[in-house]
Structures are given as C-alpha cells and as structure tokens.
Structure 1
Amino acid sequence: MTPPIFLPSRRLAPALLLAMLAALTACVQPHPGNETSRAGRYAPPGAPPGTCWSTHTSPAVIETVTSQVLAEPAQLDASGQVIRPATFRTETRQEIVQPRQEQWIEIPCPEMMTPDFIRTIQRALTARGLYRGPVHGQMDAATRKAVQRYQAPLGLDSGTLTLASARKLGLIAVAG
C-alpha cells in the first residue's frame, strides 16, 4: 500500500505560498560591497549609524558618430591632374560619452515617510508648480514624477526624494 499524498486545500495553498516566499526572502544577500547601518538598512561604507540610503543608477550616455573615411585616394597623372577623384565611405559607430554611474543618495528614513509628511511634500511641490494631483499622503507615481521634476535641475534625475531635496524644500531641519 502506498502512503497517502498530502495536497493542501484551496484555503491553505495561498498561506503556504506566502510562507514559502517569506522563507526565500530570508535567503536574499545584500549587494557585494554594501555595508548595512545599525538599523539593518543598506548604506555606503562609512555612513553614520541611523542614516538611510538608496542607490541611483544613471544610464550611460551613448552618442552615434558618423564620419567619412577615405576609401581610395585620388589618382593623379604625371602633371598632377586628377584622373580619378578620391572615394570615401561612411562609417557609423556608437561611443559611450558618459558611462553608467551608480551613486548613493541619503534619503529620509521609512519611518519619516508618514502620510502627513508625504502630504507636506505634495503641498511643497504644488506650491512650486511641479505637482498637480490630490494631496492624499501617498507616494504614488504622480508624486514621484513631481519629485523627479524638482530634483532633475539639482543634478539628480530620480523620483526618490533625497534628504538634501527635503531640506531644500524646507521639510526637514538642516543640521546645524
């Protein structure tokens, strides 16, 4: 006689799946070279304890370069007259003008990102004409896009609010 096979019920299957996913996430390793702050968050080497960080990757800038290259030089007769003009070929290649860059950015810690704080961000961006959505306290796509519009002229094309931007908006006290 073969032993019975256990099949989870339909109600138990989602719970079992969630438990398996939770076990898998415990196996995820941090990126090599990244240290963690005391709170267990990823941070760059030497980051002060209790600070929160994120990485921003700016894409490489690639330029297409087209040039005319001499295929055959002109042929001249003994008197220097052109018998056959030079011929050229067009070559096109791509060059990396600026390589991809990863940079660490200090961000407000997750416990600061309360609905009240996010509403304050939305109001500050609305006052600057960068956000036109509802002030609802959720960091949605429209809010992230407004943050990105605010930070792009400051040199960071990211929808993740940096601590420096939050200070510049007057939302977080500047360390004295």
Structure 2
Amino acid sequence: MIKPIPLLGLVLACATATGCMEASVARAPTAPAADTIAPLSAPEVVDAQTGTCFARTTTPALIETVTEQIMVQPALIRSDGSVETPAAFRTVTRQRIVRERREVEFETPCARVLTPPFVASVQRALLARGYYRGPITGVQDARTRAAIGRFQADRDDVLTDMLTLRTARDLGLVAVPRDTL
C-alpha cells in the first residue's frame, strides 16, 4: 500500500534537499500572498545581477501564557494594625503575543556552495561552539538543522533551521564583504 505524503512535508523536503534554484532571470519582488500558510511559500531564487541566493520562510508567532493575581478586595485593617479581613485575589490567565507571525526573506548560501564538505564544516563550527552534538556527516540532517536554529536564536538571526548567509558568516565559513567592515 502506498502511503500518501502530505503536500507541506513534500514541499519542505524538496526545498531543504535541493537548496536554492538558480535561474537566469532577475529576482522579482517577493510580496507574500495573503493566503500563504506554508513555511516555504516560494522556492529560493537567485538574483541574476549579484548571483546571491535568497529564501523565504514564515516565522511562527511566539505566544506566552501569563498568569496574574489580581486584587478583588483590599484587606481591611483595624486601627490597632491587625487584619480584620485579608485581601481577596483572583487568578487570571491570558495569552499574549510576544512576536507576530511574519514572512521573512533572507540571503542563503546557494546550492552549489552547500556541498557535503561545506556542511561538514558547518557541523564542526557548530560543534566547536557547543550547539551540535553528533557525528560529522556532511549531511544537513535534523540534528544539524536544530543546531543551526539554536545558534540563530542566540544570535538574533532569522529563526529558521536553514543556513542563512549571516549564520554562515557568524560561523566564520563565508567571507564578510569589505564594505560591511
């Protein structure tokens, strides 16, 4: 029996396995569609003028649950300082959006750069910084993507498990342009 693969899982698997798709046309503006929900709403593109690869992803909303004690009735204090009636409190729990869901576009190393030796270098760099625990395989597996995500979270980079150009630069694997120094 053939088991159906969910479309979203297929899109994610194809996008992470193939890297960025190279094209000879200039990069068009990538305004997100209003009804786009998938994490990768468009394939990675190459800016024909600069040769830079870009990817888009949807960062999830960050929601926290806040529990507070709200005073319903203050304590009644006698003239001698003793408490006649203690204060009454009510527990209120609510959710608060810390960060909105949004689509972001970011630079990423192109597919021709993401070779097994380069991915092994990424794994070694993450291992040296304490983010990766596992064998150096040269394969972008779930363990490697999770380590990339943790490193990005600590560096305030785009929260994705894809290797961004900024992450690669922070790891010392891609040269920093002179004009940014």
What TM-score do you get using the length of structure 2 for normalisation? Answer: 0.57
Offset at residue 72 of structure 1 (A): 9.3
Q: How has the CA–CA distance of structure 1 residues 158 and 72 changed in structure 2, closer, same or farther, with 3 Å as cutoff?
A: same
What is the CA deviation profile of residues 63-103 of structure 1, one whole-angstrom value per residue up to 9, with x for unaligned ones? 323223426997xxxxxxxxx84873514131415132323
Query: Where does residue 27 of structure 2 map in the other structure?
Result: none
Query: Where does residue 99 of structure 1 map in the other structure?
Result: 99
Offset at residue 168 of structure 1 (A): 1.6
Which of the numbers 159, 162, 167 marks the counterpart of 1:160?
Answer: 162
Q: Which amino acid aligns with 2:176?
A: V
- In 2, the alpha carbon distance for the partners of 1:155 and 1:134 equals 26
Gaps (5+ residues) in structure 1? 1-9, 35-39, 75-83
SS of alignment partner, residue 53 of structure 1: strand
Q: How has the CA–CA distance of structure 1 residues 105 and 126 changed in structure 2, closer, same or farther, with 3 Å as cutoff?
A: same
Gaps (5+ residues) in structure 2? 12-30, 37-41, 77-83
* Pairwise CA RMSD: 4.0
Query: Where does residue 52 of structure 1 map in the other structure?
Result: 54
Q: Which runs of 4+ in 1 moved over 4 A?
A: 71-74, 84-87
- In 1, the alpha carbon distance for the partners of 2:177 and 2:115 equals 21
Offset at residue 167 of structure 1 (A): 1.1
**Identity score, percent:** 29
Offset at residue 106 of structure 1 (A): 2.2
What TM-score do you get using the length of structure 1 for normalisation? Answer: 0.58
Mean CA deviation greater in 160-169 or 97-106: 97-106
Aligned residues: 142
